[in-house]
Amino acid sequence: MRTLKTSLFVITALLTLTTSFAEDKISAYVEVGTVKGTLQAVTAKVKEGLASKNFKVIGEYSPLKDEKSFVVVYTRDDLQKIALNVKNRGVLASVLKIGLLDKGGKVKVSMNNPDYLFHAYLRKEAVKRAEALSAITADAQVALMGVGQSFMPFGGEMTASELHKYYYMWPAATQTFDDPVEFKEFSSFEEGVKTITENLNKQKGQTYEVYSVVLKEQKVAVFGIGMAGKETGEQNYLPKVGVEHLSAMPYELVLMDKKPSMLHGRFRIAVHWPELTMGTFMGIVSTPGDIETAFEGLTKK
């Protein structure tokens, strides 16, 4: 009887995320649950669950530089293969994140909703690969069922069609997925990886590497970058836009062959905080430029 109840619960819970390839609203985030324990203990349980579904943890850090916040970054080979079908920064969809917030004896665990990210970054490819991507989303959720079982959507929502053409406010004033910030080209992919890696190791511009995915054969790389500046980094702007969305972090620098680029802040931040008001956005008006400046520095010797 217990096995039957568990199976029914799993099936019901999976429908929360895996029905999103229709024109239903897709939430930006999913709250896994708030559970008793220390941040370290719950993080270990998260990693154990991810491993059970063959996900690989590729990075972890505290965006707020404290002992109360933590992000676990993960990926899987089949997801990377699908993401690479979108040549124009599709690799961003291959990196998923889980956020943990210490609430004093309890830890709130949340995840960026994979389906939301797939539609925002892969767009039409997300529809073509709906079955395979839904299976990945389902596996990500099952992996965390040993941690929490709430799986409540939060953080704003949009339909797949809205995500495919998303922009904040109006097109003439803000950027879309197809309006990235592009930096000066390298002489080769190898030089690009070497330069960016060396600069991150030196923590140039108060930056540091949280994770990297370097696919040499495809000449594609993505670097998840933490920013330590008190006036320019996550500890400055994340509390202003909402720390509950910490699984949006870290920000990414992409290298495609010889071309380094990043999603514009007025797209990247807005799509991860879809309920962000203009007033709040104005409170971080310098943030997109701060990130651009820091990342541009990483592309220079």
In this structure, are 11 and 156 located in the same domain?
yes
Which helix (DSSP H) or strand (DSSP E) does residue 224 occupy? strand 220-227
In this structure, are 111 and 234 located in the same domain?
no
User: Is pLDDT of 171 > 80?
Assistant: no
Six-digit token pair at 247? 């699984």
In this structure, are 160 and 216 located in the same domain?
no
Higher per-residue confidence, 19 vs 259: 259
Higher per-residue confidence, 168 vs 71: 71
**Unique residue bearing structure tokens 């799509």:** 271
pLDDT tens, position by position, 175-209: 999 999 999 999 999 999 999 999 999 999 999 99
Cis omega (within 30 of 0) on the bond before 250?
yes
Looking at the domain assignment, is residue 277 inside a domain? yes
CATH number at residue 9: 3.30.310.70
pLDDT tens, position by position, 14-73: 444 444 444 799 999 999 999 999 999 999 999 999 999 999 999 999 999 999 999 999
The residue out of 134, 164, 194 marking a domain boundary is 164
Residue 147 CB coordination number (10 Å):
21
> Range of 206's domain?
181-298
Mean pLDDT for 87-110 is: 96
- Tell me which residue of 151, 152, 131, 133 sits closest to 143, measured CA to CA: 151
In this structure, are 254 and 107 located in the same domain?
no
In this structure, are 118 and 191 located in the same domain?
no
Q: Residue-wise over 174-210: b if at least 16 C-beta within 10 A, else e?
A: bbbbeebbebeebeebeebbebbbebbeeeebebbbb
In this structure, are 239 and 91 located in the same domain?
no
Looking at the domain assignment, is residue 175 inside a domain? no
User: Is pLDDT of 2 > 50?
Assistant: no
Looking at the domain assignment, is residue 244 inside a domain? yes
| pTM for this entry | 0.91
pLDDT tens, position by position, 66-95: 999 999 999 999 999 999 999 989 999 999
The residue out of 133, 164, 195 marking a domain boundary is 164
Looking at the domain assignment, is residue 284 inside a domain? yes
User: Is pLDDT of 240 > 90?
Assistant: yes
Number of domains in the chain: 2
**What pLDDT is recorded for position 169?**
76
Residue 128 CB coordination number (10 Å):
13
The residue out of 104, 137, 164 marking a domain boundary is 164
Mean pLDDT for 140-161 is: 96
Give one DSSP letter per residue of 155-204, joined into a string: EEEE-HHHHHT--SS-TTTS--TT--EE-PPPSSHHHHHHHHHHHHHTTG
**What pLDDT is recorded for position 3?**
41
Looking at the domain assignment, is residue 174 inside a domain? no
In this structure, are 74 and 113 located in the same domain?
yes
Tell me the percentage of the chain whose pLDDT exceeds 90. 86
In this structure, are 15 and 143 located in the same domain?
yes
Looking at the domain assignment, is residue 172 inside a domain? no
